[in-house]
Amino acid sequence: MARAFESAGFRLFLVGGIVRDLLVGADLTQPDQDIDFTTDATPAHTLAAISSMAQSVWTQGERFGTIGALIGGRRMEITTHRAEAYAPDSRKPEVVFSTHVEADLSRRDFTINAMALEVTGETPTLIDPFDGARDLAELVLRTPLGPEVSFGDDPLRMMRAARFISRFGLTVAADVLAAATDNSERLSIVSIERVRDELDKLMVCEDPTAGLWFLVDTGLADVVLPELAQMRVEQDPIHRHKDVLTHTIAVVSNTSPRLLVRLAALFHDVGKPKTRAIGESGVSFHHHEVVGARMTRERMKALRYSNEMIEAVTELVYLHLRFHTYQMGWSDSAVRRFVRDAGPLLSELIELTRCDCTTRNKRKAEVLSRRMDELEERIEQLNAHEELRSIRPDLDGVEVMSHLGIEPGREVGDAMKFLLELRLENGPMERDAVLTELDTWWASRS
């Protein structure tokens, strides 16, 4: 492809994240790796240069200078050098094309992403007018132009800063931190879907701790997740235990980088500030899982998550204390109820419960770990004899109506609930024993 552009009299540059990742030795062989180019060729000239080699071409971004193509089985985008300008109250750029790669790089978000590798010419040449390679080596996050300009152009870059801080272990330059703090409210002009997508990318970083604190400290969280700042309350004003937010972020970092469990960890104690009470025995947060589940649903709806994701995260928040209700050991019925309540979220609930222990008390942590091990062993043992994930009453509705001589209605539903509780408590039973229990229950109702 480089030869095609060069023979037509144009220059072609690899640009953006792929150049940064080359410098840090990242794996670039993945088929879904973004490949972005910039060029001094116009979109029309780009189309002419790639027409003979592209398996397919898409031109939806042509008016912004971008031509997409599938070449050699890899998706890539080739964009004419741009020197964009943004209106203060809009995210829609006024596109101005440029013939200079340096002008294009100056409009990039951060210096570590403002490098280009020229692939035309005799040998590849790194173009780094803003010392991005140095910043990457020194682990500093800076902007090519002043951060006020960069964040004014695109406020979403402040959210993106949080992701890069966490992903690469960067320290934020003082002027970048100040600009993000001063401009945090401008994030509200960005579509909530784009903000949510950027949050998701942060949440699945190996350790999102630094990025989450950046959101809180700059005030960006007040726009996206106002509940985070509200969790910055002391759990015990006498002994000054760590606040709820510190604990929450620690739990997030403990979990595996899966979006579902990470979001559940982020929201699991969100109800604590509203349920906080101080009594003779200290601070309590009674029913914070119920309040938290409701708050989680409301926030995730506001962020326009899918109904499926909202239901799953909300359920995990509601159930995250369920393990601790079984203080007397894991009887068969307790195991059945725990598995029934967790349903398809069993593995996520177990992980969240384990990771919720952030105490520095080694003995307390070991006790919790042993209890979790015991629960998982009991689940495995019972699963060898019963299908715990598909627990249902030993009779169906038709059998109940036939035996009791009743018509469809609420009484049938009540009978099925009784039989499910009987199944959870006793496990599989002989049919005659189940019918006897049903008769006794029915007689007690009469």
Number of domains the chain is built from = 3
Question: What domain range includes position 110?
Answer: 2-138
Indicate whether 61 and 35 sit together in one domain.
Answer: yes
- Tell me, yes or no, whether 183 lies in a domain: no
Is the domain of 77 the same as that of 125?
A: yes
**193 is a domain residue:** no
Residue 191 lies in a domain: no
Q: Which two tokens stand for residue 434?
A: 């189940």
- Is residue 188, in this structure, part of any structural domain at all? no
- 408 and 358 in a common domain: no
β-partners of residue 187 are none
CA-based diameter of the chain, in Å? Answer: 94
Could you tell me if residue 342 is inside a domain?
Answer: yes
| Inside any domain, residue 381 | yes
Instruction: Please indicate, yes or no, whether residues 407 and 380 belong to a single structural domain of this protein.
Output: no
Q: Which residue has the tokens 């015990």?
A: 236
In order along its 446 residues, the chain shows pLDDT tens digits of 899 999 999 999 999 889 999 998 876 666 667 789 999 999 999 999 999 999 999 999 998 899 999 998 889 999 999 876 555 555 555 678 888 999 999 999 999 999 999 999 889 999 999 999 999 999 999 999 999 999 998 999 999 999 999 999 999 999 999 999 999 999 999 999 999 999 999 999 999 999 999 999 999 999 999 999 888 875 645 444 568 999 999 999 999 999 999 999 999 999 998 988 877 777 778 889 999 999 999 999 999 999 999 999 999 999 999 888 776 667 888 888 888 889 889 999 999 999 998 877 788 888 888 888 888 888 887 876 666 656 778 788 888 888 888 889 888 888 888 888 888 888 878 888 888 888 888 888 86
87 and 7 in one domain?
Answer: yes
Nearest to 144 by CA among 172, 110, 176: 110
Provide the 8-state DSSP code for 431.
Answer: H
Cα-trace Rg, the chain: 29
Final residue in a domain of this structure, among 87, 119, 138? 138
Planar angle of CA 110, 153, 58, nearest 5 degrees: 85
Q: How far apart are the C-alpha atoms of 120 and 325, rounded to whole Å?
A: 66
Q: Are strands 74-80 and 85-86 parallel, antiparallel or unpaired?
A: unpaired
Instruction: State which H helix or E strand residue 307 sits in.
Output: helix 307-319
The residue type of 173 is A
| pLDDT given at position 388 | 61
Do 409 and 333 share a structural domain? no
Please give the Cα distance from 397 to 395 (Å, whole number): 7
CA 154 to chain centre: 22
Q: Are residues 405 and 380 in the same domain?
A: no
| pLDDT attached to residue 298 | 97
Helix/strand/coil (H, E, C) string of 120-163?
Answer: CCCCCEEECCCCHHHHHHHCEECCCCCHHHHHHHCCHHHHHHHH
406: left (phi over 0), alpha (psi -120 to 50) or beta: beta
Exposure on the CB side of residue 403, measured as CA atoms within 13 A = 21
Task: Note the pLDDT of residue 72.
Answer: 87
Residue 160 lies in a domain: no
CB–CB of 176/142 below 8 Å? yes
Residues 312 and 430 in one domain: no
Q: Which two tokens stand for residue 385?
A: 């004899």
- 134 within domain boundaries: yes
Based on the fold, state whether residues 383 and 398 are members of the same structural domain: no
Same domain, yes or no, for 124 and 35? yes
Taking Cα atoms as reference points, which of 403, 430, 432 lies closest to residue 415? 403
First to last CA, the chain: 84
Domain boundary among 138, 169, 193: 138
- Indicate whether 298 and 372 sit together in one domain: yes
CATH for 87: 3.30.460.10
pLDDT at 333: 85
Domain end call among 109, 138, 167: 138
DSSP letter at 227? H
Residue 403 and residue 364 in one domain = no
Whole-number Å distance between alpha carbons of 99 and 94: 17
